[in-house]
Amino acid sequence: MRKFRFGWMLLLGVLLSLALVGCSSEDSSKSDSGSGDEKVKLTFWGDWTGDGEDQFNHMVEKFNESQDRIEVEYVIQEDLITKFMTGITSGQVPDVLLWDRWRTSLYAPKGVLHPINEYMEADGVSEGDFYEEALKELSYDDNLYGLPLTVDTRALFYNKDHFEEAGIEPPTTWEELREAAKKLTVKNGKDFERVGFSLNDLGLFNMWLQQAGGQMLTEDLTATAYNSEAGLKVLEYWNQLLFEDEVYKTGFDKGLEGAQHPFVTGKSSMHFTGPWDLRTYEQYSDQLNYGVVPPPAGPNGDKGAVMGGFGLAVPEASEKKEAAWEFIKWWLAEPENALEWGKTSLNIPGNKIALEDPFFQDDPFWKPFIDSLEFAKIRPRHPGYSVAEVDALIPNLEKFVLQEQSAEETLEKAQKEGDRMLKENEVE
């Protein structure tokens, strides 16, 4: 009798255990798919504040209202990457992450992001709907780690009134840019009353190098390639603008933003910037009459532009990956929502179908950027590229524009230091 009772209790215990496992599994499934009574709650981390926070919350609210299974909350993280990487060890990670795309080659090998290839295939989302270069920047080892939220590049902004007074047209080549800058520069003795062209962003060396027919790294991505004939052409051209023609003085516009920016106050006739400044300059339309054209071509007709921008990614440590993908897909893969995002944020969305809308195509301010994106290239996908550019190339370029070293010395030092940094940051 005791044996029978013990056996029955053992059987009952096993059945209860199986039932609990089944319930646990079912609950886990519901927590991601949203098929239960409770909504799946997703945390979306980003570092955009102010207008950017409002723009993100606008899309979050629209998504939350579009269905009743998933609820997203945007949470600001000021030091986003540091918080994310430290959070991985403590389990404090978001479900969706605002991702600066050029970081992918550095962080994807660490296994901190989740590939979305299977989601794309299962839901029939075509890579052809997005800029190929932006997807490449979100990829590593044939895996795609997100979709592009924004795409951007630089274009030439010019003061229409200054050009009309000088009787000249917007430049399309380096030579035309140089001649225009000389005609537009106004000096009082040694002091600038107006610079013809603001050469204030040394980080655009990559763009200039493309226009000169060169590239930043070798084809196999093992070494820097800017210590070249094309690299010398760029620095020789900068030397003409800065020291022969004297159309700009380094530091002329340092620290000046908004209403004090030289382009707004009419103290600068041309400069390169991105679509994010369209909103800024619109605020001063009563005093600033400006236009935008694609970057001028180099001495041999080469076009060059650098594509940048952000994406949305799913952390590997998230326990709600499928729901996170649903949010990203709704926002970025559905053209009407991508267009809503573009109109709301005044950013160029990564979805090319959304860009076919007249809102972008018929606007003279947007069109030059969209045209430039057709030939824009991303920065090289090497884990050490960002380090080599920021810590090796830029400091040497700064010495060049301050006339502390020659063009040849600048490129040689940048090459030596950059190659070392690439080697140190290789993925083994």
In a domain, 46, yes or no: yes
Tens-digit pLDDT string for the chain (428 aa): 333 333 433 333 433 343 333 433 333 333 465 555 689 999 999 999 999 999 999 999 999 999 999 999 999 999 999 999 999 888 899 999 999 998 898 899 999 999 999 999 999 999 999 999 999 999 998 999 999 999 999 999 999 999 999 999 999 999 999 999 999 999 999 899 999 999 999 999 999 999 999 999 999 999 999 999 999 999 999 999 999 999 999 989 888 788 889 999 999 999 999 998 998 898 999 999 999 999 999 999 999 999 999 999 999 999 999 999 999 999 999 999 999 999 999 999 999 999 999 999 999 999 999 999 999 999 998 988 988 999 999 999 999 999 999 999 999 999 999 999 999 988 76
Residues 238 and 336 in one domain: no
Q: Which pairing describes strands 147-148 and 310-313: parallel, antiparallel, or unpaired?
A: antiparallel
273, 316: one domain: no
Residues 43 and 191 in one domain: no
Looking at the domain assignment, is residue 26 inside a domain? no
Report pTM. Answer: 0.83
Q: Is residue 187 part of a domain?
A: yes
The structural domain count of the chain equals 2
Domain membership of residue 331 (yes or no) is: yes
**Domain assignment of residue 104, given as a range:** 37-152+308-373
Strand partners, 47: none
Which residue among 347, 373, 399 closes a domain?
373
The reply to whether 312 and 300 lie within a common domain is no
Is the distance from CB of 179 to CB of 265 less than 8 angstroms? Answer: no
351 - beta bridge partners?
130
pLDDT in tens, 58-107: 999 999 999 999 999 999 999 999 999 999 888 899 999 999 998 898 89
Task: Tell whether 347 is covered by a domain.
Answer: yes
On whether residue 142 sits in a domain, the answer given is yes
294 and 226 co-located in one domain: yes
Helices (H), 124-173: 132-137, 160-166
CATH number at residue 126: 3.40.190.10
Residues 110 and 163 in one domain: no
Q: Is residue 86 part of a domain?
A: yes
In this structure, is residue 200 part of a structural domain? yes
Q: 222 and 350 in one domain? A: no
Mark whether 146 and 166 lie in a shared domain: no
pLDDT in tens, 1-36: 333 333 433 333 433 343 333 433 333 333 465 555
Please tell me whether residues 282 and 195 are part of one structural domain.
Answer: yes
